[in-house]
A and B are shown apart, each in its own frame.
Chain A
Amino acid sequence: DTGVSQDPRHKITKRGQNVTFRCDPISEHNRLYWYRQTLGQGPEFLTYFQNEAQLEKSRLLSDRFSAERPKGSFSTLEIQRTEQGDSAMYLCASSFAGGTEAFFGQGTRLTVV
């Protein structure tokens, strides 16, 4: 296992289009997190899963955003009707439940034009 992987690494989309990102966590990890990082800022928490259950969503996660982790393995983050303000790096991380160390993927950089 080579760590957390995210796909794609870069995505350019036109405003109003839908986009979907994928995250494959470290296989033994049952928690999976999504964060968003805008230029000049630290990552901000969006949502997390324990196994297939989505346990918490940030207020940052508007109704245009949806995340799934259907079999408790990989996760997808979809943004509908993208806006320029959605341009950011989307980071995925995974950990053991109760663990305190999260391992991050390399992120997906979204640019909305």
Chain B
Amino acid sequence: AQSVTQPDIHITVSEGASLELRCNYSYGATPYLFWYVQSPGQGLQLLLKYFSGDTLVQGIKGFEAEFKRSQSSFNLRKPSVHWSDAAEYFCAGLTGGGNKLTFGTGTQLKVEL
């Protein structure tokens, strides 16, 4: 079955430190992959997406992600975290017809000042 896995439930980083959130996928063909961010009580905001081509994709708010087929990974990175980045982050992939999204279980990011 097509799936995405986020191995880290919680991550804490200091403000100004670098960040990497892990995502692994299990898809037969080249997947369409996404990273979303969710602030408390809010909906989901798209950070970035990968379909094909350049494996390093840039997103909003200074985030980037790198698609690595050999590792079945699509990790999210940010060089310097701001306190406002504290939120829950979801990796997702497109599944089947109708463009349904399959989400990972999320990684809760805490930023220490």
Mark B32-62 against chain A: 1 for CB-CB distance below 8 A, else 0. 1000100001111110010100000000000
Residues in B neighbouring A40, C-beta threshold 8 A: 9, 105-106
> B101 contacts A45, CB within 8 Å?
yes
Q: Are A48 and B90 in contact (CB under 8 A)?
A: no
1/0 per residue, CB under 8 A from B, across A19-44: the answer is 00000000000010101000011111
Tell me the count of chain B residues lying within 8 A, CB to CB, of chain A. 25
Q: Are B103 and A107 in contact (CB under 8 A)?
A: no
Chain A, residue nearest B104 (CB)? A42
A43→B101 CA distance, assembly (Å): 9
| A107/B101 contact (C-beta < 8 A), A42-B92, A100-B94, A101-B49 known | no
Nearest Cβ in chain B — how far from A50, in angstroms? Answer: 8
Q: Given A100-B49, A100-B51, do A91 and B44 touch, yes or no (CB 8 Å)?
A: yes
Q: In whole angstroms, how far apart are the Cα atoms of A105 and B42 in the complex?
A: 8
Contact of B43 among A55, A101, A104 (CB under 8 A): A104
With CB as the reference atom, state the residue of chain A lying closest to B42: A106
Interface size on A, residues (CB 8 A): 29
| Cα distance, A60 to B49, chains bound together (Å) | 27
- Decide yes or no whether B72 CB sits under 8 A from chain A: no
Residues of A within 8 Å of B51, CB to CB, are 100
Q: Is A85 an interface residue (CB 8 A)?
A: no
Check if B43 sits within 8 Å of A42, measured CB to CB: no
- Nearest residue, chain B, Cβ from A48: B98
**Are A106 and B100 in touch, CB under 8 angstroms?**
no
12 extra A-B contacts, CB within 8 A, seeds A42-B103, A93-B44, A101-B49: A40-B9, A42-B106, A43-B90, A50-B98, A56-B100, A100-B94, A104-B43, A104-B44, A105-B43, A106-B42, A106-B43, A107-B41
Q: Which 7 A-B pairs have the closest CB atoms?
A: A42-B103, A104-B43, A104-B44, A106-B43, A45-B100, A43-B103, A42-B90
Please, could you name 6 A-B residue pairs with CB atoms under 8 Å apart, sorted by A? A40-B105, A43-B44, A43-B90, A45-B100, A45-B101, A91-B44
